[in-house]
Amino acid sequence: MCGIAGFYNFQTDSLEQTSILRRMLTRIKHRGPDQSGIYLSDNIGLGSVRLSIVDLSSGTMPISNSDETLWIVFNGEIFNHIELREELLTKNHSFKTHSDTEVIVHLYEEYGSEFVHKLNGQFSIAIWDKNKQELFLARDRVGIRPLYYSEVNETLVFASEIKSMLEFPGFEPKLSPKAISEYFTFWTALSPGTVFEGVYEVPPGSYMVIDKHSKKLTTYWQLPLYKPNEYKYTNIDDAAKDFETIFSDAVKLRLRADVQVAAYLSGGLDSSVTTSFIKNISPENLQTFSIGFTEKDYDESSYQNIAADYFKTQHSSVMCSPSDIADNFKSVVWHSEAPLLRTAPAPMSLLAKSVRDQNIKVVITGEGADELLGGYNIFKETKIRRFWSKDPTSKYRPLLLKKLYPYLPQMHNANNNVLKMFFGYKLSETSSPIYSHLLRWNNTSRINNYLTKEYRDAIGDYNPINSIEQKLGHKLNGLDSLAKAQWIELNIFMSGYLLSSQGDRMGMANSIEGRYPFLDHRVIEFCMSLHPDLKLNGLNEKYLLKRLMKGKLPDEILNRPKQAYRAPIRSSFTSDSLPIYLKEMLSETDIKQAGIFNPDYVGQLLTKMKTKNQVSEIDNMALTAILSTQILNDLFINKSIQELNDDELVNLDKTILDY
């Protein structure tokens, strides 16, 4: 795993180019603390910091093809690089290293931009073609690894993380009010946008070609969608057999490394499944890691211990308190580079740190299973709301909703009227392509009420929900309700938030690479071809997975009720021992100075959080959103970050000046 950065069409001398690129790499050296290198030629600069996992001795980037007409920097892993190397050898390609990076540059030489279809992996790629004078940027199918770009005075600047661009002269980021309204609705900005104006991501499943005349974006992969009469699998036994074959190979590929591979073991079904497959493929001792909470409402330690005992893994657990979340929250926002509505990334950072403290670089995790196999409560909620909408006056149908959210205080004694008020929003609008998310997004969007009049005026009549509903109407037309909801979760929530703020960023902040067998593109394509009843059978989530694993997991794990991964908010941010920096960010003075939030409304929220017995989930999310946005503004707009000094700059293990 690595971090990459660079620029195209930057007219200055090589000494200044080297200095700037070195500083850009230093900002993301957490992504690759082992080695670093740069390539400079005329107006192109490529740089990489490397976390060495495959070919530890000779895989330092940048790497070229044989005649040095193509140069590459690369962030990620190509899990099928061994097979691809063998294919290229039959076509008379020769190799200097055993790294997957060199395989990519030869694939590009052989097949051009279409080589991306051959990759099984998680990646962000930058290739400079000297002959064509073109820069090629590409990103993996579902956006596991990040890649951003911006134009600064006619120079295209790109990097794995936006903070790298802060070291490029003339880059002056500005928060986008419209993007903030999207974050306060969807938990993320809509791709290719980011929270910063003029900064974009290369969208998942896309590549971009840039030359002196243009930049062209091409989508090479999209989530496959099947209409009700097109499903390939309707029989549970056939589906389970084929899934086991595909998933087993996905896990096997992700065990490839020249360093030790460990696993997260959360105590839930998904991580237990991945651990089970790992143990079947590689029975030797496996190290597993988990996070527990001092507040029992969030803690899953008992299930983690059951799983660890069952698999007989060498297990380590770290406990997280509300004060741990508060103490680390500034760093979490710095690495997330986005507003956050949950504190959940903070414990994930602590978990990754515990892995790194044991000198492990790679962990396999269960991300993607909920999205692909109907695991989230929102899928059940949609099913119940559709059932309820057929008889809106029913006293009994809405009671089914009480079982979904036992952790919400307002659900404990909710009667029919309370449930109707809470879940009845646009109940009858079942024809909407975003019906599954109308309620969630409407509730979350109330956070926008805390914005100042100036920010709300800047947003104007832009309504993120209406906008996305119009865009998705044609795309999702004719699909069953679960497929529609899955498309939204996979393309918006998973890529924009889960794999970013909770996944890549928290892992790489601690120089840890996460690997996700459920997100192998073959597994994704298989799961989307399943009849919905094989995923969500009645209200039984992940039906296929449970059927496959019956007798292979402890019953306590297999049959436990779904528990969403959550972390404390109120107790983290209302304590008298709150770090001074966080207190300042929430003070009336700093709120006014930033000009993003209405100080009166923020004050009322803080009073409520400190004095009321019960606060809502929206209150919790609003407090997190306000605090994280204030920190983001301070770090990236006010640039309160510490200046880099010469002693901190990365050492360049490889420097190619090709003028």
Residues 505-544 have pLDDT tens digits of 999 999 999 999 999 999 999 999 999 999 999 999 999 9
Place 494 in a pLDDT band, splitting at 50, 70 and 90.
Answer: very high
Span 399-416, pLDDT tens digits:
888 878 876 666 767 777
Is the pLDDT at 55 greater than 80? The verdict is no
Q: What's the confidence (pLDDT) of residue 412?
A: 67
- For 496-533, b/e burial (b = at least 16 CB within 10 A) is bbbbbbbbbbbbbbbbbbbbbbbbbbebbebbbbbbbb
Cβ–Cβ < 8 Å for 34, 57: no
Mean pLDDT of 432-449: 97
Number of Cα atoms under 13 Å in the Cβ half of residue 4: 32
Please tell me the predicted confidence (pLDDT) of residue 99: 94
Q: Are residues 544 and 580 in the same domain?
A: no
Q: 247 with 160, same domain?
A: no
| 411 part of a folded domain | no
- The answer to whether residues 164 and 45 belong to one domain is yes
Residues 100 and 179 in one domain: yes
Comparing CA positions, the residue from 443, 501, 446, 529 lying closest to residue 231 is 529
What confidence score (pLDDT) does residue 1 get? 64
> pLDDT digits over 580-598, tens only?
999 999 999 999 999 999 9
Give the CATH number for residue 548: 3.40.50.620
- Of 215-219, 232-236, 354-358, 641-645, least confident by mean pLDDT is 641-645
The secondary structure of residue 553, as a DSSP letter, is S
Active site residue 320: no
Question: Could you tell me the CA-to-CA distances from 546 to 135, 234, 279 in Å, in that order?
Answer: 46, 16, 18
Residue with tokens 């999205």: 371
Give the count of beta carbons closer than 10 Å to the beta carbon of residue 307: 26
Q: Tell me the C-alpha distance between 109 and 100, whole Å.
A: 15
The residue among 509, 537, 558 that closes a domain is: 558
In a domain, 481, yes or no: no
Q: Which residues are within 8 A (CB) of 285 and not within 5 positions of it... i.e. 6 or more apart?
A: 313, 314
The DSSP H or E segment spanning 5 is: strand 2-8
* Residues facing 74 on adjacent strands: 125
Within this chain, do residues 633 and 649 fall inside the same structural domain, yes or no? no
Q: Are residues 525 and 580 in the same domain?
A: no
pLDDT at 60 exceeding the cut of 80: yes
Note whether residue 565 is domain-resident.
no
Q: Are both 96 and 132 inside the same structural domain? A: yes
631 domain-assigned: yes
Task: Report pLDDT for 52.
Answer: 85
Number of other CB atoms surrounding residue 573 within 10 Å = 25
Q: In this structure, are 218 and 258 located in the same domain?
A: no
CB within 8 Å of 413: residues ≥ 6 apart: none
CA dihedral 550, 555, 556, 562 (to 10 degrees): 30
Q: Are residues 178 and 314 in the same domain?
A: no
Alpha helices in 360-400 (DSSP H): 369-372, 377-389
Cα four-point dihedral sign 450, 451, 454, 458 = negative
Instruction: Tell me the mean pLDDT in the region 635-657.
Output: 94
Confidence band for 627, pLDDT divided at 50, 70 and 90: very high
- Does residue 302 fall inside a structural domain? yes
User: What mean pLDDT do residues 186-193 have?
Assistant: 98
User: Residues 1, 2, 179, 239: which is the catalytic one?
Assistant: 2
- The DSSP-derived string for 169-224 is TT----B-HHHHHHHHHHSSPPTTB-SBTTEEEPPTTEEEEE-SS-EEEEE-----
> Sign of dihedral through CA atoms 227, 229, 235, 239?
negative
> Residues 597, 512: one domain?
no
Range 53-83 burial, b when 16+ CB lie within 10 A, else e? bbbbeebbbbbbbeeeebbbbbbbbbbbbee
Cβ atoms 316, 287 nearer than 8 A: yes
Distance CA 197, CA 172 (A): 10
Q: Report the CATH number that the domain containing residue 24 is assigned in CATH.
A: 3.60.20.10
pLDDT for position 313 = 97
Please state the rounded mean pLDDT for residues 76-92: 97
Predicted confidence band of residue 453 (pLDDT cuts 50, 70, 90): very high
Task: Tell me how many domains the chain contains.
Answer: 3
Residues 57 and 104 in one domain: yes
Of residues 659 and 374, the one with the higher pLDDT is: 374
> 69: which 2 tokens?
């007409």
Tell me the C-alpha to C-alpha distance, in Å, between residue 449 and each of 36, 149, 184, 337. Answer: 45, 31, 10, 22
Full residue range of the structural domain in which residue 97 is found: 2-224+645-657
Alpha helices in 460-612 (DSSP H): 464-475, 481-488, 505-508, 521-528, 543-549, 555-558, 570-573, 580-586, 588-594, 599-611
Q: Is residue 298 part of a domain?
A: yes
DSSP 144: S
- Tell me which residue has tokens 């109120």: 570
User: Which residues make beta-bridge pairs with 278?
Assistant: none
Average pLDDT value for residue range 462-477: 93
Q: Which of 30-34, 236-240, 392-396, 524-528 has the lowest mean pLDDT?
A: 392-396
Under 8 Å between Cβ of 28 and 5: yes
Is residue 167 a part of any domain in this protein?
Answer: yes
**Span 227-256, mean pLDDT?**
97
Q: Examine the domain organization and report whether 220 and 347 are in the same domain.
A: no
The predicted pLDDT at position 409 comes to 67
Give domain status of residue 209, yes or no.
yes
Amino acid at residue number 286: L
What residues have CB less than 8 Å from 312, skipping those under 6 apart? none
| End-to-end C-alpha distance for the chain, whole angstroms | 29
- Rounded to whole angstroms, how far apart are CA atoms 496 and 311? 33
Mean pLDDT, rounded, of the chain: 95
What φ, ψ does residue 207 adopt, rounded to 5°? Answer: -135, 155
